[in-house]
């Protein structure tokens, strides 16, 4: 049987779109997206920061793909006129000799990423409103318009012949000989396509989709099932944002020092490309029901005083009345509350089937890493289908 497409990509977030752009140069590509449009989930609900790559365990996928992704993303933005700015970022410390300052400096040295120590006087010159005893200045950090980034990826994929079909939910796939038969549900009824390879880039739903594609139930409470099948468990963690009404007192991104065991980087100050200041994200683990329910992206105004407390640690002059509930995104975490962060998982499960790659736990720095993840998938696929 002739395949309809070489590759079927499930999910048109930034990861699926970046992979589609990369693969469409050599293969025929179909992207299936269950929502009305591309990029409407996690990829448009984040801090839009291009990370330097300082925070991740040595040699992890998060570290290597973040650094490679950053190296690819800035030139991509320049070449294709994607609004972005290398704003730089201050990582501020309440004490002059915090062990985390030293640890980050060692990481920067190991990775050859520029990072400069600043004393309180230098901080005042750079950001007069920030109160901190010491800081690290990361000039490689920046911001990007995630929407225009995704539009460019989609446009380039489509120009190379890729087809994006929205309102199409992948519900299963079965291997038959060298091909996959992929089952798709649409408002007009079910259909299916045949392809040579499947890429599962379904974000928060990637784990449940992996189970559906493999015919395994992830909703069991029997943990041995996860171990045997190597399907990890999802711990969705919502991050809320508050926007700041008024002129931003900051010109750079301002982050607190990461606290060990914290599931995020701490409530930080980021700017969008219009100069609008926003704060977030915090970390709230959700049960599965809430994570996939209609109010999953709700931001309660009650969080305001909690945000104000965290922000005042580095900006004592904050007027809390200027904080307004803005938006939320959900991290597809693979680590339970209080447990160390888990790396990205990019896995080819059953090697007896035609190629199928699952991208699991693509939380931050996924936006920064998107172009590098696409490169990696292209290499893996080329090794299998040529």
- Which residues are at the interface with ligand FAD (CB under 6 A)? 10-16, 32-35, 40-43, 46-49, 51, 169-170, 201-205, 209, 239, 281, 329-331, 362-368
**What's the min distance (Å) between Cβ of 109 and ligand FAD?**
23
**Hey, CA dihedral for 146, 147, 152, 154, is it positive or negative?**
positive
Q: Which is nearer to ligand FAD, 107 or 154 (CB)?
A: 154
**What's the min distance (Å) between Cβ of 224 and ligand FAD?**
26
**What's the min distance (Å) between Cβ of 169 and ligand FAD?**
4
Query: Among candidates 101, 75, 358, 321, which has minimal Cα distance to 213?
Result: 358
In terms of Cβ atoms closer than 10 Å to its own Cβ (0-12, 13-18, 19+), residue 84 is: buried
**What's the min distance (Å) between Cβ of 133 and ligand FAD?**
26
Query: Among candidates 7, 14, 6, which has minimal Cα distance to 44?
Result: 14
Q: Which is nearer to ligand FAD, 136 or 345 (CB)?
A: 345
**What's the min distance (Å) between Cβ of 373 and ligand FAD?**
9
Contacts of 90 (CB under 8 A, 6+ apart): 118, 123, 126, 127, 130, 132, 135, 136, 137, 138, 252, 253, 254, 255
Q: Under DSSP, is residue 280 helix (H, G, I), strand (E, B) or coil?
A: strand
Judge contact between 143 and 85, C-beta under 8 A: yes
The label of the residue with tokens 């120590």 reads: 117
Q: Which is nearer to ligand FAD, 22 or 368 (CB)?
A: 368
Q: Which is nearer to ligand FAD, 266 or 281 (CB)?
A: 281
**What's the min distance (Å) between Cβ of 54 and ligand FAD?**
13
Report the first-to-last Cα separation within the chain, whole angstroms.
Answer: 19
Judge contact between 312 and 129, C-beta under 8 A: no
Judge contact between 41 and 229, C-beta under 8 A: no
User: Which residue's Cβ has the minimum distance to ligand FAD?
Assistant: 366
**What's the min distance (Å) between Cβ of 326 and ligand FAD?**
11
Q: Which is nearer to ligand FAD, 123 or 374 (CB)?
A: 374
Q: Which is nearer to ligand FAD, 13 or 355 (CB)?
A: 13
Q: Which is nearer to ligand FAD, 10 or 376 (CB)?
A: 10
């Amino acid at each position: 049987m002739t395949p309809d497409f070489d590759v079927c990509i499930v999910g048109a977030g930034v990861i699926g779109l970046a992979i589609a752009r990369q693969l469409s140069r050599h293969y025929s590509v179909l992207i299936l997206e269950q929502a009305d449009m591309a990029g409407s989930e996690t990829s448009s609900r984040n801090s839009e920061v291009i990370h330097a790559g300082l925070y991740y365990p040595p040699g992890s996928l998060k570290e290597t793909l973040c650094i490679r992704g950053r190296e690819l993303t800035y030139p991509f933005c320049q070449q294709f006129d994607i609004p972005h700015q290398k704003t730089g970022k201050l990582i501020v410390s309440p004490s002059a000799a915090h062990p985390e300052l030293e640890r980050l400096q060692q990481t920067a040295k190991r990775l050859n990423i520029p990072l400069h120590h600043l004393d309180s006087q230098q901080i005042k010159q750079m950001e007069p409103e920030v109160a901190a005893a010491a800081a690290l200045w990361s000039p490689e950090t920046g911001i990007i318009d995630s929407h225009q980034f995704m539009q460019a990826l989609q446009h380039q994929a489509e120009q190379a012949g890729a087809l994006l079909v929205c309102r199409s939910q992948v519900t299963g796939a079965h291997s038959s000989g060298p091909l996959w038969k992929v089952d798709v549900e649409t408002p007009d009824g079910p259909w299916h396509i045949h392809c040579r390879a499947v890429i599962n880039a379904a974000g928060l739903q990637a784990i449940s989709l992996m189970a559906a594609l493999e015919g395994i139930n992830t909703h069991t409470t029997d943990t041995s099932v996860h171990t045997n099948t190597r399907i990890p468990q999802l711990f969705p963690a919502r991050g809320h944002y508050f926007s700041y009404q008024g002129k931003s007192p900051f010109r750079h991104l301002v982050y607190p020092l990461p606290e060990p065991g914290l599931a995020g980087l701490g409530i930080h100050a980021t700017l969008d490309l219009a100069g609008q200041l926003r704060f977030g994200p915090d970390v709230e683990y959700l049960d599965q029901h809430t994570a996939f329910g209609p109010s999953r992206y709700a931001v309660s105004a009650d969080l305001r005083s909690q945000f104000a407390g965290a922000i005042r640690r580095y900006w004592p002059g904050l007027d809390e009345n200027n904080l307004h509930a803005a938006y939320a995104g959900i991290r597809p975490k693979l680590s339970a509350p209080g447990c160390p962060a888990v790396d990205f998982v990019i896995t080819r499960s059953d090697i007896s089937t035609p190629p199928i790659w699952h991208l699991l736990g693509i939380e931050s720095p996924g936006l920064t890493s998107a172009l590098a993840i696409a490169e990696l998938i292209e290499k893996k696929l080329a090794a299998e289908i040529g």
